[in-house]
């Protein structure tokens, strides 16, 4: 388990990461990175420890036991490298299916490799997905809403 100060917990933070985070693709996960800017919640972001969250899809891992095992293994590899994460940033790891059977050393190496790409990735311009553009234009993100599935019409 990550320390309390390093956990990304708020739904609003996850929603912002979905739209304004930059992606770094690895073998076992996709890393979304976002630099925190000064605000009421974050008066001095450069001094804040990195905040890290994990996302595991139920489509990818049908069994809850597999989801929990993959998250636990990946979280421990991230915990070992926590000192290498830059301060004032938020991170979300979106785990892939290969995480479940991957050797622990390979997962750790993959995370370390993605961390070396952060500086270069943050210099690139942000590209929003069509869905993110739509959510931002509606103002849902400002209110803290998360991405939700469109409502199905009753037949």
Query: pTM score, two decimals?
Result: 0.81
> Per-residue pLDDT tens for 6-57?
888 888 888 888 778 899 999 999 999 998 888 777 778 778 899 999 999 8
**Per-residue pLDDT, 52:** 94
Q: Residue 100 has which token pair?
A: 């479940």
- How far is it, in rounded angstroms, from Cα 11 to Cα 145? 8
List own/partner pairs for 41-46 with CB under 8 A and 24 or more apart.
45/88, 46/87, 46/88
Residue 154 binned pLDDT confidence (cut-offs 50, 70, 90)? low
Residue where the block lists tokens 């991170």: 91
Mean pLDDT of 116-131: 85
Q: Give 151's pLDDT tier (boundaries 50, 70, 90).
A: low
Q: What percent of the chain has pLDDT over 70?
A: 89
Q: Which phi and psi (to 5°) does residue 92 adopt?
A: -130, 130
| Domains of the chain with CATH codes | 4-138 (3.30.230.10)
Q: Does the pLDDT of residue 129 top 80, yes or no?
A: no
Query: Model confidence at 127, in pLDDT bands (50, 70, 90)?
Result: confident
- Average pLDDT (113-129) is 88
The half-sphere exposure of 98 on its side-chain side, counting CA atoms within 13 A, is 10
pLDDT of residue 76: 93
The reported pLDDT for the residue numbered 104 is: 93
């Amino acid at each position: 388990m990550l320390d309390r100060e390093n956990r990304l917990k708020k739904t609003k933070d996850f929603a912002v990461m979905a739209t304004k985070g930059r992606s770094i693709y690895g073998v076992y996960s996709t890393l979304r990175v976002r630099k925190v800017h000064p605000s009421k919640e974050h008066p001095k972001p450069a001094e804040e420890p990195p905040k890290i969250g994990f996302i595991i899809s139920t489509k990818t891992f049908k069994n809850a036991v597999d989801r929990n095992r993959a998250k636990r293994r990946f979280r421990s590899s991230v915990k070992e490298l926590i000192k290498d994460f830059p301060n004032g940033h938020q991170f979300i790891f979106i785990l892939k299916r290969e995480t479940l059977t991957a050797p622990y050393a390979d997962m750790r190496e993959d995370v370390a490799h993605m961390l070396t790409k952060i500086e270069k990735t943050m210099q690139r311009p942000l590209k929003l997905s069509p869905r993110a553009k739509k959510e931002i234009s509606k103002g849902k993100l400002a209110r803290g809403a998360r991405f939700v599935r469109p409502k199905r019409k009753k037949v």
